[in-house]
Amino acid sequence: MTGVDFTVIDGLNVLTVETIISEVGLDPTRFPTVKHFTSWLCLCPGSRITGGKVKSSQTRQVVNRPANAFRIAAQALSRSNSALGAFSRRLRGRLGSS
């Protein structure tokens, strides 16, 4: 349907790809940049700043099926024995698990 096999990417299975494509669609021009796409998914950190102090930088809590699919894929990837899984584990060790 898309001309690309997304299941080749570690962490993504058929159900995850179907969920993402069904919600987002096949037209990537809806989002001008990757930053717009991650903001729409509510996966980017927030920026609640008041008086020069950062009050919160957590991601927003939303019911968004593609965002949950990406989160589940990231969890599955962090447990895999692939190069991306090893990279994820190194980042988690360096930056913390949260």
Buried b (16+ CB within 10 A) or exposed e, 7-41: eeeebbeeebbebbeeebeeeeeeeeeeeebbeeb
pLDDT at 47: 79
| β-bridge mates for residue 49, sequence order | 54
Share of the chain above pLDDT 70, in %: 98
Is 31 contained in some domain?
yes
Is 33 contained in some domain?
yes
- Residue 68 CA to its chain's centroid (Å): 8
Is 19 contained in some domain?
yes
Q: Averaged over 55-64, what is the pLDDT?
A: 77
Binned at pLDDT 50, 70 and 90, residue 98 comes out as low
The total domain count for the chain is: 1
Is 47 contained in some domain?
yes
Is 1 contained in some domain?
no
- pTM for the whole structure: 0.73
Average pLDDT taken over every residue of the chain: 85
Neighbouring residues of 70: CB distance < 8 A, sequence distance ≥ 6: 20, 41, 43
Sign of the alpha-carbon dihedral angle for 2, 28, 9, 46: negative
Is 68 contained in some domain?
yes
Helix, strand, or coil here: 56? strand
pLDDT exceeds cutoff 80 at 2: no
Domain that holds residue 21: 6-95
Is 16 contained in some domain?
yes
